[in-house]
Structures are given as C-alpha cells and as structure tokens.
Structure 1
Amino acid sequence: MCGIIGIVGTQPVEARLIESLKRLEYRGYDSAGVAGVVDGRIERRRAAGKIRALEEVLAGEPLAATVGIGHTRWATHGAPSVRNAHPHTQGRVTLVHNGIIENFLELRERLEAAGRTFESDTDTEVIAALLDSELGMGKPPVEALKATLDQLAGAYALAVLIAGEDAMILGARRGSPLVVGHGQGEMFLGSDALAVGPFTQRVCYLEEGDFVALSHGAAAIYDADGRPVERAVRTVPASAALVEKGNYRHFMEKEIHDQPEGCQRTIAAYVDTLTGRTDISGGIDFAGLSRIQIVACGTSYIAGLMGKYLIEQFADLPVDVEIASEFRYRHPALRPDGLVVAMSQSGETADTLAALRYCQGKGMKSAAVVNATESTMAREVDVVWPIHCGPEIGVASTKAFTAQVAVLTALAIAAARARGKIDAAEEQRMVRLLLEAPRLVAESIKLEDAVRAVAQEVSKARDVLYLGRGPMYPLALEGALKLKEISYIHAEGYAAGELKHGPIALVDEQTPIVILAPFDSYFEKSASNMNEVMARGGQVVFITDADGERHAPSGARVVVTAPRCDPLVAPLVYAPPIQLLAYHVAVLKGADVDQPRNLAKSVTVE
C-alpha cells in the first residue's frame, strides 16, 4: 500500500517529505526512503521499518535538497530491507514506484545480458535501469520516459529524479493513482491528495496512462500516446483529502476504479513474486485440515462462495460457506480439526462475530479476512489475512469484494501446494496468472462506456435476472445484489443450470437477462441458456470475451467484451462490469449511490 511524495521546491524539502510520508502511514508500509538533488547530484536516505528509523538516518545524514522524492514501501518484490527500500538508483536515474511490473524478470535478464548489474530484488530497479538506458541513447527525459513506459507490462505510479535535471520531477501512472499539486512557485506529486495536502489544496488528477514533467510552477502533462494534454485543477479541502472523490461523482465510482491498485496491493501481500510462491502466513496447516468453514454476510458471503469454488477445485479441501446470521442457530456439526474463516470488510459485523465465536467455542482454529486490521474480529482470531484495499466509503462494497476474492485465490493456491495437489511449477504458473490480474482488471474497467449504454435499457426494467455457471454463479449473485441495493430494481442471481427449474417463468420481453459467460469449459452450456432465454423474448446482456463473442448465438441484444483471461482470475476481471452496470443504472435513476436507503456500511447489531 505504498505512498509517494515529490516536491519541486524553493525551500529545503527534507522535513516536508517526512511530514507527507507520515500522512501516508495509513496505507501500510515496511520501509521508507527519500532522495533529493544536492549540489548537482542525487543523494538517498533509506531505512527498513517505520518512518522514525528513516528520521534517525536523516539526523545523522541530513538531506540538504530543495527538490526531492519520498516513499513508504509495502514489500512486493523482495523482502523488507534497506537494499530493497525505495528510492532505487541506476546511473542517472533515481525513482520510487507503486505497483507491480509483470514482465520485470524478462526485462532484468535483457538488461543483465547488456551488462547491467542490480543491487536489489525489486521490480522497481528495472524501471530505473531501463530509463537510464534510454537516456544513454541521447533521448531527452520526457522522450526517454515514454520509451520506458512503452516497455512495461503491469501497474505503476512513478516519481523520478534525473541527475543533471536539477529542477524537475517526472511522474507517470497506469493502474495506480497519482495527483499533481500546484503551489506558489512549487509543484508537488503524490499518490493521493492527502500526500500533497500539507502544501497545497490545488490538485489535478492524472488519468490512466498519463505522464508528467514537473518544474517550478508548471506541470507538462502527456497522455498515454505522448500527446500534450490539460487536466483540470481543482481545490481539495485538506480535511477531506483522505476521503476525496477526485474526479469521480461518487465514492462508489472511485472505488470501482481503485480496484487495479487494490488488487495489486492485496496480491503482493500474499505471493513472493521472485520465487513464484504463495506466502499465506499464520502457521495454518492446510494439509492437516478436514474442512474450512467460511462465515460471512452480504457481499463478503458471496466472496466466500467464490473461495469455495477455488479451494475445493485446486486444493481438494471441503469448504462450507454459510450466512452468518443463520449459522449458529441451526446448531451446525463442527470438529476441532477444521478452520473457521470469518470474512468482513469492517471486522465488526455482529452476526459474523457471533458465528466466529461459536466456532471457536467448538475448538476450531480461526482466521479473519478483513480490511480493518484493528477491528474486533482481527483481534479475536488466531490468524489475520488483511485485504489491504484501503478505506472503502461507499456502502455498496466493490474494491473490498475483489480484494477478498484475491486473498481467497492466493489461499487456494497455497492450500493446493501444501496438500500436494499441485507441484512447485504449477504453483509458479498460477502465481504468474494472479499477478496479471491488476492489469486485466484495469482493462475491464475500460468497458465503462459499453456498460453505460447497457444501463440505459436496464434502468427501465422492473426485474433483472443474472445467470452464471461455475465461479460466474457467485458473481451473478453479486451483480444482482449490487443492482438492487443501489438502484432499487428487483434483481436475482441464479446458477444458469437452474433456469429451467423455475426462473425461466419470469422471462419476458421486459426482463433483461445478464449472462456472465467467459469462453471456458462452461461456455457451451451457457450459450444454450442464452438460446432458451431469447426464444422467450428475453433481452440478453451478454458479458463474455472476444472468443465468446465469436461463438455466441446470434440475437444477443448487447455484448460487453471483457479481456481474455485465465479462469483462475476471471472472477476478478468480470467483477468491474457488473459493478459499473449497477452504478450507472443507479445514477440514471437518481438514487443516492453512496448512501442507499435503509443500508449501513457496517452492520454492528444482529
């Protein structure tokens, strides 16, 4: 959950960099560092652990710079240590980075073959080496940055210093947010509005693919194609920076767009990207478990259903998922050799807490998948698996859902390996697929215009059905839940195979049917369901990939084409379109998207 700050200043920046990094501590981190331009050269100060350790380093070696960058690092590639702490330097280039570079091993091997050496285990150092190589070819900084970005696959937010360019900071974003702050003769760069809040309230939000060159009093912004662009500057009250919506109308919309970065942070916490191994800490002996019992409510319950599909398929470990409010009242049969997993964004959901305590009373080992690591649930379990998605303000959960699914996917891979159901090579393959998810989620969000067009029709409906097979069935439940809780349209999710067992009676010309059907082993049967629906006049909203679009039965009224992806990560990739559909329908109907009627963010009473 890394944080970034950059200052092109007229006064010393050391204290201001530290002040900003302290404001970013809420994001979570395990090392910190700063760098600045001192007498024409770039100097770094780094420390493992908390910011106070960095302050101790600076007390002994002050940074006398007026232009500098700072970073709090959440370890992804490489263990928390000084050598892996940001900023990283290669030649003339010193930079900090949020995100995951998917092709860093390929790039590193190419650079090493050309004579480069690396001092860290990070993917970030590869970016610095690439940029230094481009500069070495005689390219000016902005052109060299564009050439570097074109070689990167994955997600990033960057702040860059270049030796010899003493009054400039470069920045870039793809899949991770970055804001520019406008001061009086000074410019700022931050991972969010809170980072630049102590220095200015005038900010602009870089859009996906943008990169920027900051100088004293100016920001030259370029889009992904390298064309100069203007981005609106707006005023953000300092007190509201932590929960600022940015350029979005609602928190829900912002949180949908936050998901690439959220997934990246979550995944990075549970896999070792250098070895391709999962890292689910806490001492859980998956090989010795007889079963896993997941208890949850609402969207967390649906994420748990997704986990059941994944864990049972890959780890051959029985998983039961139950609605927490019903669980303990039916006196379930439990054994102490099982694991109870409580799932809750807030960690305070009363029914889930009660179900958790019931299982603990039966002698079961316990774990919690939560966003709030200081919550009651987190304090009471044996093992905490945080989802790391950051504050979620909208009542309708979006980024917490995908973060929960990401944790459960990593857990499924780890359990499969521990139980001998996959070997090390297969674990590495699955981890590589999981690391691709943030980029694919970002591509999926780009479907927003197509989804907005679908919403025009869906907003007129009285009833909507969602259908899916396999892991798309829980996602159909989630799509229906999202639509009804924020747009107040009646919606139901069904396993597509159940269509003929009752729900088909609801199909008519006024009923949109949302079918989630990537081109996978279930596709042929899903296509058959489409034909059944269309034969009865149902209006199909078909969400698939390019292969599915080519093989779809003719007559689907709308096709939303998602990115191609492996079935392992399809639940993550197909979540944004259904969230965006609910969001845009609610907006068209004039509903209060962030505070839907009768609902609360955290249900703390039974």
Structure 2
Amino acid sequence: MCGIVGAASRKNIVEVLIEGLRRLEYRGYDSCGFAVINGDDAKHLIERARTTARVSELAEQGKDFHGTLGIAHTRWATHGKPDTQNAHPHISGGLIAVVHNGIIENYEVLRTELKSAGYVFTSETDTEVIAHLIHQAYVSSKPVDLVASVRSVLPRLHGAYAIGVIAQDRPNILVGARVGSPLVVALGENENFLASDALALAGRAHSMMYLEEGDVAVLKAESVEIIDHAGKTVQREQKPMPAQADSVDLGPYQHYMQKEIFEQPRAIGDTLANIASFGPQLFNADPEQWKKFDQILILACGTSYYSACVAKYWLEDLAGIPTQVEIASEYRYRTTVPNPNTLIVVVSQSGETADTLAALRHAQALGHQYTLAICNVASSAMVRETNWSFLTKAGTEIGVASTKAFTTQLVALYLLAVSLAKRAGKVSPEREKELLRDLRHLPKALHAVLALEPQIIAWSTAFAKCENALFLGRGMHYPIALEGALKLKEISYIHAEAYPAGELKHGPLALVTEKMPVVTVAPKDDLLEKLKSNMQEVKARGGKLYVFADQDTEITSSEGINVIRLPEHYGNLSPILHVVPLQLLAYHTACALGTDVDKPRNLAKSVTVE
C-alpha cells in the first residue's frame, strides 16, 4: 500500500528517493511522486514530479531534478480516484509539501473549515487537508517554526497517519510524524532518512530507529531529533538496518507471482531450517508462560485468515486446544468476552496490516497478555508489539497475490499446533521424529506438485472463457478452496466463490450449469467418500468438474470430470500441497486473459489502512 521515503542530505537525493520507491513497489500503488528542494540554490523552490505510471516513468521525469532535501510517495487510492492531481506530494501555497500514509477520518470537517479560510483545494484527497493546515499554522507562527507548526496540527487529525513535511524556506529540515501508521528514521553519513518500510533504505543507512506513537522526528543532514507526544526530546533505540532486499530479478519467469510460486520449496525449507524439535523455543516464548494459556484466538485478514482457518483444524485435532479464528477487521468492532488465558495469535505477511494491528491492540486493551505474531518481516510493528513471534522465511514477496507467504504461514501454524500437542503430552519422541521428517520432505513434495504446471496450463484456457467459478473442499481443505477462489478473483477478475462441498444442496447447487466450472480439492482423507457424492451432485446437473485428486482416490477423468493427480497424499500437511495447483490455475488463467498479474487492479500488497 502507500509508501513514504524522505531524505535530508548534502548531496543530490533524487536517486535515493526513486530507488526507495522502487523497493516499495511490491506493496501496490496507483500513482507516485516526489518533491525536492535544492539547498544549493538560493531560490529554494519546491520542485515536484508525479505520475500514474510506474516508478520507472517517475525516474525519467526526475532525470534533471536536483535536491538535497526531499520526500517521495507511492499512493494507493482511498480518497479520490487514482490520477495525477490526487498523487502525492501535495503542496500548499508553494511553501509546504506533504506526503501521507493512512486516513484522516475528519478530513471533511477540516476541508470545509479551510475552504472558509480561503484555501483552494486541487485534489479530492484527505492529505491536502494536512498540507493546508500546516501552511496555515506556519505562516501565522511568530517566529516561523516548521516543527512547532506540524506539532500544533497533529491533535486535529483524527485517524491514522505517517507524514513527511518540507518547507520551501527551510531547505535543510525534514519533519516526520506518526500515529497508527509505521515510520522509521534511518541514519547515514551526513544524511538521514525517513521511510515507511526500512527495506526502502537498506544498504543506504547504517542504523535505524522506529518512531513510537505520537513521535515527531526532525531530520537534518547532520542530526536527528525526536520529540515525543508530550513535547519532550527523547532517544529511541538504534537498530542495525535490515539486510538488502532480495534480488528482484525475474530470471526465467514471466511474472513475480510465477517466480514466487516456484520459490515455495526454498521458502519452506528456509522456514524449517535448524528446527530440531517442537516447543516454545520456536516462538521465542518463555517456557513457564507457555504452560498457562488454555485456548487460542487467531486474528488475521485475507489470505492470512485462510491460513488461520486451516490452523484451527490442526490445533483442535492435534493439540486438543479450543481455537477461534476471527477476521481482524470485524473482531475489534464487536463486544467480546475476553478470557485472560487465551493466546492471541496474529498472522500477517507484512506485519503492518492495519486491521490486524488494531485487532491486536484491542485484544491487549481487553487484558490479553499472551500474544504471538507469525510474520515474514522481522522489523514489523506486529513483531515488536507481541510477546512472542515466529518469523517465516518467505523472502520478499512482490506479487500482490500472496503465494509463498501463505504456505510458509501454514508451516508456522503447523509448528504451533504440534508444539502444543507436545505440551499436552500427545507427541512421543518417536512421533516427533516422524513429524519432523514429514516436514523436511515438504520441499521435495512441492517440487513434484510444481511439475504439474503443463497440465494446469491446459485447464486455464477453459477457465479464461468463464465468467464464474465454484470451488469446493471439505474439512481442512475447505479453507484451501477459499484461498483458490480468492486467487482466481484477485488476478483474473473472474467471479469465484468457495463452499464446503456438503453445503452444495443448501443453495450453491442452483448456480451449477455447464458454464460453471467447479474446482474440487480431493485429498485421500476420511471425507473422500462424502466428497465423491457431492461431485456426483454437480455432474448430475451438467456441471463440469475440475478435480485435484491424490493418487489413490480412485477418481478418474470421464465425461464432465477432469482430473489432475497430485503425486502423493500428505496427511495433515496436505493443505500445503493442494493449494499450489490452485495458485498455478489462477496464475495461468490470468495470463490467458492478459491481466496485470503482479499488480491487479484496486489491490495493494500491504494494507496499511482500514
């Protein structure tokens, strides 16, 4: 989603801003821009470039720009359509330039007030309100003080925000502030930086600091000052910068999504590296605290929510621990009955998902003291704000539609389930060795599944002609059907829905015709015979079945039934294998339709607003 990069230096920082935006492209955006001030020029004019094209186009526009102070932004539209007028940075009076992540909930009231004061709005955004408010405070302050002006405006902003601010007549000061949205300060040699994601500046700075709620940061080339919400100058802990972002070379692949699908054996292998036993040590948990919770609540959104739904089956079946799963965006807005002996598990690829972070904080406010993050980013807010954490090793995921992040989340949640089964005395030493052996075999098993790609490509041509699709699964494979439907709709724009197969006769069967492909996840498990009956219900009504079946299911291709066989049945780990062909089906259907696979319309990678 929206990304911020800012810099105060003694050198030209245009290239730094552009490179930072390139590294944030994976989050998804529909416009981008930057504004710079050349401190070596006596006029100190704010120069700005904006585009609704990609960052590469912005780089072309910026070739002749020179600035020692600047801010840059990638925007995912919330208020106002995605066009150049709504792109950031926004400028007020030729004097104040602002970039902003988040949403200002009371912007309409503020906009009306500012119009009455004579301000003219050139965009539909909530961000322009911030620029005009700071301008209003700045021009009326005696003496003129940019930092004081920014601080005076912040209490009037209701909602979540991270902002970067520069002023035309202060060519050496960059001001940042945050409430509810992440913002980091990165420290370099005679230059300092702001960013919404530390990876934007990896390799450029030597250390970094996370701004806390209500902090205002004042950056100059040679210094950084942080002022807390009470107005006191404070020190924040310095940490080393994260390693350089993974290579973004596509190699032999057509899109990042395809590359990331094929990286899953490596990602899972890395996630499992050095794991020799199950237990609290995998989650950096205190062994005594680990014994105290007796139920689990998992909070997540989107794809991560579906991984949590699979985990519910594992946790209750293997560990015998009551488990609830809630959509994070719904949890915090309903009345709940908190149990202090509940482990709150939050699942997020980025660790910055606004709804999940808000749900975590709500749970903590209700008194929940046991919290665990499963996340792919060590430096994320979610990891910092939970007691315990497990870091998946998916690596950078650029495609908006999550693939390797999802399967590594499943691995992490399976590790949690088995660790709690061990806590309950349900895993003997011999059984523990068997389970570890099964996990270590996963990368090899996934390679065999990926080899099915040519057969799946053949199916995709038929799916590209459809307007709707139905996905069916039973038990712990029902969430996998949900994930398959989500992938298809995300990147191909084909309407797709998933149902528990046993629910067909309770409504969805009315949709089945020869024009409705029905994708079925058919593992060799206790529900297979029930699933076969559900498949017959579809076939009897002229529906066309596309079945991903395990080898020994005795489901064969015939009139109206198309079958692709997975190499082996994998027991409790079967969902991790069965989701991969669904990812490939969505990917190749989207390719057949010619959609923008890696950056589907209207969607963002890291959803940092509600």
- Give your verdict on TM over 0.5: yes
Matches within 5 A, 1:305-344: 305-344=309-348
Matches within 5 A, 1:455-474: 455-474=460-479
Aligned residues between the structures: 366
277 and 435 in structure 1: CA distance in 2 versus 1, 3 angstrom threshold:
farther
Q: Displacement, 1:428?
A: 2.0
Q: Do residues 299 (structure 1) and 303 (structure 2) align?
A: yes
Q: Distance in 2 between matches of 1:320 and 1:396?
A: 25
Structure 1 residue ranges (4+ consecutive) displaced by more than 6 angstroms after TM superposition? 275-278
Alignment correspondent of 2:490: 485
Q: Secondary structure at the match of 2:475?
A: coil
245 and 473 in structure 1: CA distance in 2 versus 1, 3 angstrom threshold:
same
393 and 500 in structure 1: CA distance in 2 versus 1, 3 angstrom threshold:
same
Q: Distance in 2 between matches of 1:600 and 1:462?
A: 23
Alignment correspondent of 1:242: 247
Alignment correspondent of 2:458: 453
Match for residue 545 of structure 1 among 542, 550, 560: 550
Q: Secondary structure at the match of 1:391?
A: coil
Alignment correspondent of 1:535: 540
**Structure 1 contact 277–427 (Cα < 8 Å) conserved:** no
Q: Displacement, 1:508?
A: 0.3
Q: Do residues 359 (structure 1) and 363 (structure 2) align?
A: yes
Match for residue 588 of structure 1 among 584, 588, 592: 592
Q: Supply the AA of the counterpart residue of 1:282.
A: A
Alignment correspondent of 1:145: none
Match for residue 576 of structure 2 among 561, 572, 587: 572
Q: Distance in 2 between matches of 1:416 and 1:596?
A: 40
Q: Secondary structure at the match of 1:243?
A: coil
Q: Deviations over 1:6-51 (max 9, x none)?
A: xxxxxxxxxxxxxxxxxxxxxxxxxxxxxxxxxxxxxxxxxxxxxx
Q: Supply the AA of the counterpart residue of 1:302.
A: Y
555 and 495 in structure 1: CA distance in 2 versus 1, 3 angstrom threshold:
same
Q: Do residues 372 (structure 1) and 377 (structure 2) align?
A: yes
Q: Displacement, 1:434?
A: 1.4
Q: Supply the AA of the counterpart residue of 2:316.
A: E
Alignment correspondent of 2:285: 282
Q: Supply the AA of the counterpart residue of 2:285.
A: G
Q: Supply the AA of the counterpart residue of 2:286.
A: G
**Structure 1 contact 287–415 (Cα < 8 Å) conserved:** no
Q: Deviations over 1:64-113 (max 9, x none)?
A: xxxxxxxxxxxxxxxxxxxxxxxxxxxxxxxxxxxxxxxxxxxxxxxxxx
Q: Distance in 2 between matches of 1:440 and 1:555?
A: 30
| Amino-acid identity (%) | 47
Alignment correspondent of 1:350: 354
Match for residue 388 of structure 2 among 380, 383, 391: 383
**Structure 1 contact 267–435 (Cα < 8 Å) conserved:** yes
Q: Distance in 1 between matches of 2:246 and 2:471?
A: 37
Q: Distance in 1 between matches of 2:537 and 2:407?
A: 31
Q: Displacement, 1:241?
A: 7.4
**Structure 1 contact 276–427 (Cα < 8 Å) conserved:** no
Q: Supply the AA of the counterpart residue of 2:606.
A: S
Q: Secondary structure at the match of 1:533?
A: helix
Match for residue 410 of structure 1 among 411, 415, 434: 415
Q: Distance in 1 between matches of 2:360 and 2:485?
A: 27
Alignment correspondent of 2:427: 422
Alignment correspondent of 2:399: 394
TM-score by length of 2: 0.58
**Structure 1 contact 527–553 (Cα < 8 Å) conserved:** no
419 and 306 in structure 1: CA distance in 2 versus 1, 3 angstrom threshold:
same
Q: Distance in 2 between matches of 1:268 and 1:523?
A: 33
Q: Deviations over 1:193-223 (max 9, x none)?
A: xxxxxxxxxxxxxxxxxxxxxxxxxxxxxxx
Q: Secondary structure at the match of 1:288?
A: coil
Q: Distance in 2 between matches of 1:241 and 1:339?
A: 33
CA RMSD of aligned residues (A): 2.0
Q: Secondary structure at the match of 2:324?
A: strand
Q: Secondary structure at the match of 2:571?
A: coil
TM-score by length of 1: 0.58
**Structure 1 contact 433–568 (Cα < 8 Å) conserved:** no
Q: Distance in 2 between matches of 1:556 and 1:288?
A: 53
Q: Secondary structure at the match of 1:593?
A: coil
Alignment correspondent of 1:512: 517
Alignment correspondent of 2:442: 437
Q: Supply the AA of the counterpart residue of 1:283.
A: D
Q: Displacement, 1:604?
A: 0.3
Gaps of 5+ in 2: 1-243
Q: Deviations over 1:283-322 (max 9, x none)?
A: 2655432211111100000011011111111000011111
Q: Secondary structure at the match of 2:273?
A: helix
Q: Supply the AA of the counterpart residue of 1:593.
A: V
Q: Displacement, 1:538?
A: 0.6
Matches within 5 A, 1:202-241: none
**Structure 1 contact 539–557 (Cα < 8 Å) conserved:** yes
Q: Distance in 2 between matches of 1:551 and 1:599?
A: 37
Q: Secondary structure at the match of 2:427?
A: coil
Gaps of 5+ in 1: 1-238
Q: Supply the AA of the counterpart residue of 2:593.
A: K
**Structure 2 contact 279–423 (Cα < 8 Å) conserved:** no
Alignment correspondent of 2:232: none
332 and 244 in structure 1: CA distance in 2 versus 1, 3 angstrom threshold:
same
Q: Displacement, 1:277?
A: 11
Q: Distance in 2 between matches of 1:363 and 1:424?
A: 36
241 and 554 in structure 1: CA distance in 2 versus 1, 3 angstrom threshold:
closer
**Structure 1 contact 303–405 (Cα < 8 Å) conserved:** yes
Alignment correspondent of 2:226: none
**Structure 2 contact 542–560 (Cα < 8 Å) conserved:** no
527 and 286 in structure 1: CA distance in 2 versus 1, 3 angstrom threshold:
farther
Q: Distance in 1 between matches of 2:380 and 2:281?
A: 25
Alignment correspondent of 2:233: none
Q: Distance in 1 between matches of 2:576 and 2:542?
A: 31
278 and 492 in structure 1: CA distance in 2 versus 1, 3 angstrom threshold:
farther
**Structure 1 contact 278–413 (Cα < 8 Å) conserved:** no
Alignment correspondent of 1:253: 258
Q: Distance in 2 between matches of 1:295 and 1:241?
A: 28
Alignment correspondent of 2:199: none
Q: Displacement, 1:567?
A: 1.5
Matches within 5 A, 1:137-156: none
Compare CA radii of gyration and give the structure with the larger one. Answer: 2
Q: Displacement, 1:279?
A: 4.0
Match for residue 563 of structure 1 among 564, 567, 575: 567
